[in-house]
Amino acid sequence: MTEDFLSDRPDSNSLPPSELQYSRGDRESVRLIVVSSRTGVITMIHTLHLKAVANADEWSDLQPEPMTGKWMSVVTKYIRLE
């Protein structure tokens, strides 16, 4: 499963990630959002890091989720389109 995720870091070109996703027709961006208590979000980020889904340093800073007041973090990954 983890091999289905592509690096979200630009290869040798200098396009920003927002433009990079449109420059390759063979991949699509997928946004992962974790909403929970502060401890729950941190634990899930570490779990996904250990499972090689997303490195812990790729996630956004923790922020309060607007509707519930719980904490949230977001990461964007890229998958290969087949």
* Residue ranges of domains in the chain: 2-80
Tokens of 80: 């290969």
Task: From first to last of the 82 residues of the chain, give the pLDDT tens digit.
Answer: 455 555 555 443 444 555 454 446 789 999 999 999 999 999 999 999 999 999 999 999 999 988 898 999 999 999 988 7
Q: Which residues contact 23 (CB under 8 A, 6 or more apart)?
A: 13, 15
What pTM was estimated for this model as a whole? Answer: 0.68
- Least Cα distance to 74 among 34, 17, 20 occurs for 34
